[in-house]
Amino acid sequence: MNTSLAGYLKIVTPHLSPELVTTQAKQQIQALAQHLPISSATLIECRLSDSHADVDLHASFTHFPPTLLNHFLLNPAWQACQTFGHAWMTPASALHQSIRNLILEFDLPEQSAEDSIAAISPSPYIMFKSGRTVELPELIEQVLPLFQKSPDPSLATQLNHCLNSIPEGAELANIGIWLARPHQAVRLTIKDIRLEQISAYLENIGWQDPSQTFASFAATLSPLAEAFALAIDIDSTVHPRIGLECFATAQFHDPARWQQFIDHLVQTDLCTPAKRNALLAWSGFTRRSDCPDLWPANLTYGDLLMGLNAVSLFWRRINHIKVVYQPGQPLSAKAYLAFGHSWVNVDNVVFAETS
């Protein structure tokens, strides 16, 4: 039985417009997915400007799958992920008790040849639980050496400063480790941060934008999104390039809210009209009856077990949109399209005639 992510992709890619992901990029994603196990949720990252067609893939795992490395075993980055996975899956460890899931980001190559797919290095994001009992600096001190990223004193100092400066009500969502890229920086993503807290926080940790371009644009997003997260890269300093993750709605999907947000991106030249239309068409559901020939065989037992009590479906939604900025350069935007499979209680599902 084929239990790779590729089977899930075949269900959702017919809904993926070439305006967002080109045919070549779809082939690259599919080639990689053939070697990845099924993830709890998957994100496709695409650029919203007219001139950029780059696409990345993010796969989320709630446990480290033992089959993940079969195709990539000679790659040092995968070996580091395996070392982390063994430590994470040890039940008595602080990592097991404090880490919620692992997201692997893949920068896709220009060509999808088998040898280039095998050479792809993942960049892991470690997602922390909110109710952990171990302090973050201690956890991160344990995590980094597992990925062959022993922090030097200057990174440790900057890391502690950034963590200690997080404003009230916000918290660290995850730490990203760039195994796929040459620099030694790590990424911190701070969730539940309010827009009015961001400028003071960035100034406190040493990030500067004399033009105030970022703050001015961020202020325009306040009525358009319900939640924000701030992404920063650090080593001995805070890198100039930052990202603001924007979540238009806390609901599973609210088309009207997302349309308002994306219309604003079009009006400010951060998204093309064609890509706006493609984004708004992405969200929806797919049931077995919609594509019985493509339905993954590994879902059959669960479908039978759930019977008439639950609907087996693939869901698609806009997870978030990230506004990226570096002083002296124009703003840009990227969309993160999420999909996955769920069994949903029949009492909670209503399908529109046009879905």
pLDDT interval class at 18 (50, 70, 90): very high
**Confidence category of residue 51, pLDDT binned at 50, 70, 90:** confident
Question: What pLDDT, on the 0 to 100 scale, is given for residue 211?
Answer: 95
In a domain, 332, yes or no: yes
Q: Is residue 214 part of a domain?
A: yes
Residue 353: predicted pLDDT: 38
- Asked if pLDDT for residue 116 goes beyond 70, the answer is no
What does the block give as tokens for 184?
């030694």
Mean pLDDT on 30-38: 88
Please give the average per-residue pLDDT across 325-339, as a whole number: 97
Please state the rounded mean pLDDT for residues 63-84.
76
Q: Please tell me the distance from the alpha carbon of residue 297 to that of residue 3, in angstroms, as a whole number.
A: 8
Nearest to 323 by CA among 309, 336, 306: 336
The mean pLDDT value of the chain amounts to 89
- What is the SS3 assignment for 293? coil
Domain around 318:
6-348
- pLDDT category of residue 50 using cuts at 50, 70 and 90: confident
**Residue 1 is assigned to a structural domain of this protein:** no
pLDDT at residue 354 is higher than 50: no
pTM of the full structure: 0.93
In a domain, 284, yes or no: yes
pLDDT digits (tens, 9 = 90+) for 266-302: 999 999 999 999 999 999 999 999 999 999 999 988 8
Q: 26 in helix, strand or coil? A: helix
Domain count, the chain: 1
Q: Give domain status of residue 355, yes or no.
A: no
Lowest mean pLDDT among 67-71, 72-76, 163-167, 318-322: 67-71
> Mean pLDDT throughout 88-112?
87
Q: Which helix (H) or strand (E) holds 44?
A: strand 41-47
- Six-digit token string for 98: 């404090």
Q: What is the DSSP string of 168-222?
A: TT-EEEEEEE-TTSSS--EEEEEES--HHHHHHHHHHTT---TT-HHHHHHHHTT
How far, in Å, CA of 271 to CA of 249, rounded? 19
Q: How confident is the model at residue 82 (pLDDT cuts 50, 70, 90)?
A: confident
Nearby residues of 143 by Cβ (< 8 Å), 6 or more positions away = 84, 95, 126, 175, 177
Weakest mean pLDDT among 158-162, 173-177, 215-219, 252-256: 252-256
What was the pLDDT predicted at 128?
A: 92
DSSP letter string over 134-157? Answer: S-HHHHHHHHHHHTT-PPPHHHHH
What pLDDT is attached to residue 349? 56
In a domain, 124, yes or no: yes
- pLDDT tier at 327, thresholds 50, 70, 90: very high
Q: Is residue 354 part of a domain?
A: no
On whether residue 11 sits in a domain, the answer given is yes
